[in-house]
Amino acid sequence: MDLTYRPRRLRRSPALRSMVQEKSLSPSDFIYPLFVHEGDSVQPIGAMPGASRWHLDALIDEVKRAWGLGIKCVVLFPKVDESLKTEDGAECFNEKGLIPRAIRCLKQELPEMTIMTDVALDPYSCDGHDGIVSSDGIVLNDETIDFLCKQAVVQAQAGADLIGPSDMMDGRVGAIREALDEEGFEHVGIISYTAKYSSAYYGPFREALDSAPRATTTKIIPKDKSTYQMNPANAREAITEAQLDEQEGADILMVKPGLAYLDIIHRLRQESELPIAAYNVSGEYAMVKAAAEKGWIDEREVVLETLLSFKRAGADLILTYHACDAARWLMENKV
């Protein structure tokens, strides 16, 4: 054939492919989500093979392992005892609560590690929602924000580096920024869950924290989070959310879930100069693990390809439960 240009010329060898590769992965791209609980045992999570709920001593060892693999940031999620859950989730700003204690322990043992936190009420609420639910079943926006600000300040006081509001209340980024600044925490960043969709991919995560909405005989409880999390059908709305979060002082914008929303990551990358994060969520993780256990896919290759897709779409950072495995595989690839 008389072809002037043959794209395969640059695919002929590993060296050539590496020379023209557009995107790459590094362990420092990853943010490692970790579940924390009270007690003295490490509890495997059935719906998330390979993931566990960590007690504080074991958490320290796991974070040190992640650091040794080149991971520079972890995000903490609490499995809160049922006896501490209330309708308003006030345990979220208990200075002696699980997450503040975990942050202090980690900062004492490994001060170099960047610690991100989650700001929302669902782990602390007996209703299972990210905000306070009124007697007639409305998730209250402004009243919730007051509690989120208190939660963010307590986390910053404990030593958090990045505050991650995941609640999707309107105006919470600006309110949290103001609250942090007033308390002298101008240096603490906000990584906002900017485009967090009302997704079916969160099921294993809610099992890990026992944080799903739950029915009650005393009041109406919305069965899902669609009145505050985004409609999966909407893309332009994500731009609106991103513009608002940027105006309110967010330092990093996040898209959650990641894999089913690569188009949203790409849109935000085009619209904003801020760093973009993608959350490779529990359902995405669980599907890969289940297929790998069946022998239907090569787990290593699928995970690395998936994570690379987030970078190709425009993400700078990736929250992923695969973080340690992926970091190890990347190190092996360099040998």
User: Which residues, 6 or more positions from 221, have their beta carbon under 8 angstroms from its beta carbon?
Assistant: 127, 128, 129, 133, 137, 213, 214, 215
> If we measure between CA atoms, which residue out of 59, 34, 62, 38 comes closest to residue 48?
34
Active-site hit among 79, 85, 225, 256 = 256
| Residues 261 and 197 sit within 8 Å (Cβ to Cβ) | yes
Q: Catalytic annotation on 334?
A: no
Q: What is the 8-class DSSP label of residue 55?
A: -
**Distance separating alpha carbons of residues 101 and 257, to the nearest angstrom:** 28
Active-site hit among 196, 225, 289, 311 = 196
Long-range CB contacts for residues 35-42, cutoff 8 Å, separation at least 24 = 35/77, 35/78, 35/79, 35/208, 35/209, 36/76, 36/77, 36/78, 36/79, 36/98, 36/99, 36/102, 37/78, 37/79, 37/98, 38/79, 38/81, 38/98
Helix axes 323-334, 299-313, angle to 10 degrees: 100
**Distance separating alpha carbons of residues 300 and 302, to the nearest angstrom:** 6
Kind of pairing, strands 30-37 and 73-79? parallel
C-alpha 195: how far from its chain's center?
A: 12
Q: Catalytic annotation on 256?
A: yes
> If we measure between CA atoms, which residue out of 304, 329, 313 comes closest to residue 258?
313
**Distance separating alpha carbons of residues 319 and 127, to the nearest angstrom:** 26
**Distance separating alpha carbons of residues 252 and 242, to the nearest angstrom:** 10
Show which residues are catalytic: 196, 256
